[in-house]
Structure 1
Amino acid sequence: MQSALPPDPRVQLGRIRFRRAVALMMMTLVLPGSAQLVAGSKRTGRIAMRIWFGVVASALLLVLLSLVSHTFAFWFVTNGPLGLLRLVLMALAVGWAYLFVDAWRLGEPLSLHQKQRLAMVGINGVLCFSVAGALLFAAHVVNVNKDFMATMFASTTVSDAEDGRYNVLLLGGDSGADRWGLRPDSITVASIDADTGKTVLFGLPRNMLNFPFKKGSVMAEQFPDGYNCGVQCELNSLATWANDHKALFKGYDNPGVEATTEAVEGITGLKINYWAMVNLKGFQKMVDAVGGVTLKVRDRIPIGGVGGPVTGYIKPGTRKLDGFHTLWFARSRESADDYSRMARQKCVMNAMLHQLSPKTVVMKFGAIADASTELISTNIPASEVDRFVPLALKARSQPIRTVSFVPPMVNTGHPDIAKIRRAVQNAIHPKKAAKSTKAAKSGGTVSAAPRNQGTTGGAIGSLRSGYAANQASDLGAAC
């Protein structure tokens, strides 16, 4: 028998050099600067490791502060030093990529075999592009968030909670932030408990007539006996009227919103803290950005109609709808009435609140921010966003209460304003309402979703009996 040939020292040396080169790359991945400290410029290694430990310590401190105080976390994301954070992430990306290239150099690639050199180039490329790419993407997300906050929440006027609640007027229509003036399809007040986040949605019909304005307001001076403009004096016509009389609204950036706000305050007796205008066409893009929304479609919902042809239908069933179909679910009036449509709109609001998780927001923030700039215009200042975000998260875990001032509760042509205001107070102070038999007789209480009731226009209930989603103590159960 022939004895085995001794291993070639050159092959063994090549393997050792290759393992050393790979080790230097992995050291740079795990502990940037360690490769230089072992095999290169010790000064460069020490500087890199000090920076790395400083970044890790800062990140851990931020995480600990965020765990201790969610308020701090929301402040940092919405109002923190985002510009500085973006620069830090970009610098880390460039510095780390440099360390990878230097570690590749320290591995003496020219002393390796051809296949080993190619492998090292591949490893170095993957690590450089992966790590630097991730950091640069993070810097991009931070920049998107920074621009989004600056664009969306440009106001600086802060409004304090009234009676322990923030009241936000939500207006939905076809006009964008730069051309508000078309009549809104949807008028809702979200009244949010400043401590618990518990929310009540007050729905006002767009066709309400003969309503008063807040005392001392611009519109109250023009219509001291209530809104009587001579023709089509409906609630949703205020935006058009105000924009035709802009001279009356000196000092207001948006006369249409101001006039509508003064009417809503006069009708409900609530102080409106902030407003948000939702462009319903931008809403379609928003739903697509979050991957759709799941809704229970109770009847066949026409797409189109009322002045145009019906081009299709949304079929009944529990369905995950894209932006186009969600928009038509909320807007369709064919084979329905305004009040069933209001009920469906409330169901969309409820679904968006409970289905839009923080994880989804983080993962798809860029698309959401891009859609939101076309979707919403608001006067909520950036300094208050970190207050409303935790309130929204609290609201997600609780049922939403709804009260809509529509038939049969309210005659929209001749609304009983005193009754409406009692209903508002009963809804935001349910414990007081439950103790008061007088309040119970006023019609201001709301019940859970009706059971075993038919549907009209995709909403539980009818025009005669009322729609469940318009008057419910648990909106989710009514949808």
Structure 2
Amino acid sequence: MHDRHGSSRFTTGDRAARVRFRRAMALMLMTLLLPGSAQLVAGNRKVGRIALRIWMVTGFSVVVTLGAALFQHEVVFYLVSNTVVLGFLRFALMLAAIGWAVLFMDAWRIGQPLSLGLQHRRAAVGLNGVLCLSVAGSLLFGAHLVGVQRDFMLTMFSSSKVTGAHDGRYNVLLLGGDSGAGRWGLRPDSMTVASIDARTGRTVLIALPRNMENFPFVKGSVMAQQFPDGFDADYLNGVSTWAGDNTELFPKSKNPGVDATIMAIEGITGLKINYWAMVNLEGFKDLVDAVGGVTLNVRAPIPVGGLGNDVTGYIQPGVRKLNGHDTLWFARARDGSDDYSRMARQKCVMNAMLNQISPQVAVRNFEKIAKASSAMISTDVPASEVDRFMQLAIEAKGQKISTLSLVPPMIVTAHPDIKLIHRKVKEAIARADGTAPKPAKAKSHAGDLVTGGSVGSLHSGYAANQADDLGAAC
């Protein structure tokens, strides 16, 4: 800029000040892009070389890991489930946050802030503060998320007992109820065995009614010794309460109710149970809210309330996205319905959750999901097996889910035909494996009666309870 006489308004001192300012800003931007580069060119070169080497090794490791993850999902599952790796990563992120912040402060020092004019000094301080807080804050937040995941793994998957697949399948008992972890005085509200192909993830859901009576326990178990002629003391969902009242029979058990229930499930189905998971239904709604809701086909008005209390409203029919509160009532409502219709709706919720929760949704809502899951589930799945089941869940996503429910009209719950149940379980698994012929023509449920929100009736059976394709039946 020139005045009217053509002479420059900027003196040599002004130009030197601008150079110093640009240099100071450049040093901080260099630290943002290549930590240590500012020290390498204008400060302690030894520090600069160490920082750059760490940055290059870290960048290379991240690129290699991301590349491997694109082709091998197991890499990601291993990283997010291994508590040793998570502990190391958390510590590394915290060190990186501190180290990077120190490099920013040193770059600001190298820029000789006291030699800058007041306005330039304020701008340099502002930029340095923004960069330092942004980078260090992001890394510390990342360390926090890693810590959440590590705590989740340590809290949720504390068992160390690993069991292998039985006949090529993992059988996981899913128990649902209003109780929390360790509160087995309350009866499980639902019992389902998820039989998962160890190679493909293809899943068969085998549901057992809570009101089944006179069933045998697996041979050789302590419960079979107590009830050699079958359980006649209560319904199936009362086994856990009975075991809780007789804990002296389970001296080495941490969860007598669970163990006794497993003995019953194995005796009824003929399957060997690998692991169990107890789902607190009240906590389930928090998980649904954490993933943003779940879309379900509501075929008839579903009452909200009941179960001994007043009905306060209805979930109206239609294909709609439900929040956690409404999804919970969709799954558990029994007013104007029956247990078997409710079992059918619960399977539809399981199918929707499996197919609608994407990895992207899980990442976006990671902390909420971890918090909800910790309050919702107790399980004996060991941490070392989590990556395996995550991979199987990915494999199962998009595949058909088969269902078999041991309910009327096929099974008389008061006097179940155990030989028939064993045969039906084997047939359902064989059809899912593709080793048994499928029905000549799948039954069409178009125009069928809808009872309690589920296609079918107590007399004819509910479509979602007996299906080779659960998604189509829902």
In structure 2, relative to structure 1, the CA distance for the partners of 1:449 and 1:41 (3 Å cut) is farther
- What CA distance in whole angstroms lies between the structure 2 residues aligned with 1:321 and 1:68? 34
Residues 299 and 316 in structure 1, CA contact (< 8 A), matched pair in contact too? yes
Whichever residue aligns with residue 138 of structure 2, its letter is: A
Q: Report the secondary structure of 2:24's partner residue.
A: helix
Aligned residues: 468
What are the superposed Cα offsets for residues 375-396 of structure 1, whole Å, 9 maximum, x if unpaired? 1110111111111110011111
Residues 182 and 255 in structure 2, CA contact (< 8 A), matched pair in contact too? no
The 5 Å alignment of 1:379-394 reads: 379-394=380-395
Return the offset for 1:2: 4.5
Which 10-residue stretch deviates more, 112-121 or 349-358? 112-121
- 1:111 corresponds to which of 99, 112, 115: 115
Whichever residue aligns with residue 237 of structure 1, its letter is: G
Return the offset for 1:63: 3.0
Return the offset for 1:362: 2.0
- 1:160 corresponds to which of 157, 161, 164: 164
- What CA distance in whole angstroms lies between the structure 2 residues aligned with 1:450 and 1:4? 92
- What CA distance in whole angstroms lies between the structure 2 residues aligned with 1:89 and 1:202? 44
What are the superposed Cα offsets for residues 293-333 of structure 1, whole Å, 9 maximum, x if unpaired? 12121111111113111112212222222211111111111
TM-score normalised to structure 1 length: 0.94
Which 10-residue stretch deviates more, 58-67 or 356-365? 58-67
**Residue 102 of structure 1: aligned partner:** 106
Tell me whether 1:75 sits opposite 2:78 in the alignment: yes
What are the superposed Cα offsets for residues 415-472 of structure 1, whole Å, 9 maximum, x if unpaired? 221111111111111134318xxxx7xxxx9956622213111111111221111111
**Residue 37 of structure 2: aligned partner:** 34
Tell me whether 1:455 sits opposite 2:450 in the alignment: yes
Residues 454 and 462 in structure 2, CA contact (< 8 A), matched pair in contact too? yes
- What CA distance in whole angstroms lies between the structure 1 residues aligned with 2:103 and 2:14? 28
- Percentage of pairs with the same residue: 61
In structure 2, relative to structure 1, the CA distance for the partners of 1:2 and 1:278 (3 Å cut) is closer
Residues 448 and 477 in structure 1, CA contact (< 8 A), matched pair in contact too? no
Residues 197 and 392 in structure 1, CA contact (< 8 A), matched pair in contact too? yes
Which 10-residue stretch deviates more, 324-333 or 71-80? 71-80
Tell me whether 1:59 sits opposite 2:62 in the alignment: yes
Q: Report the secondary structure of 1:202's partner residue.
A: strand
- What CA distance in whole angstroms lies between the structure 2 residues aligned with 1:190 and 1:95? 48
- What CA distance in whole angstroms lies between the structure 1 residues aligned with 2:297 and 2:120? 59
- 1:8 corresponds to which of 3, 7, 10: 10
Return the offset for 1:65: 4.0
Flag structure 1 segments of 5+ consecutive residues without an equivalent.
none
Which 10-residue stretch deviates more, 167-176 or 62-71? 62-71
Q: Report the secondary structure of 1:103's partner residue.
A: helix
**Residue 215 of structure 1: aligned partner:** 219
- What CA distance in whole angstroms lies between the structure 1 residues aligned with 2:104 and 2:162? 48
**Residue 137 of structure 2: aligned partner:** 133
Q: Report the secondary structure of 1:429's partner residue.
A: helix
Whichever residue aligns with residue 463 of structure 1, its letter is: L
Return the offset for 1:348: 0.9
Return the offset for 1:27: 0.6
Residues 83 and 143 in structure 1, CA contact (< 8 A), matched pair in contact too? yes
**Residue 277 of structure 1: aligned partner:** 278
Residues 184 and 244 in structure 2, CA contact (< 8 A), matched pair in contact too? no
Which 10-residue stretch deviates more, 448-457 or 383-392? 448-457
Tell me whether 1:238 sits opposite 2:239 in the alignment: yes
- What CA distance in whole angstroms lies between the structure 1 residues aligned with 2:139 and 2:443? 49
Whichever residue aligns with residue 314 of structure 1, its letter is: I
Which 10-residue stretch deviates more, 356-365 or 13-22? 13-22
**Residue 333 of structure 1: aligned partner:** 334
Q: CA RMSD in A?
A: 1.8
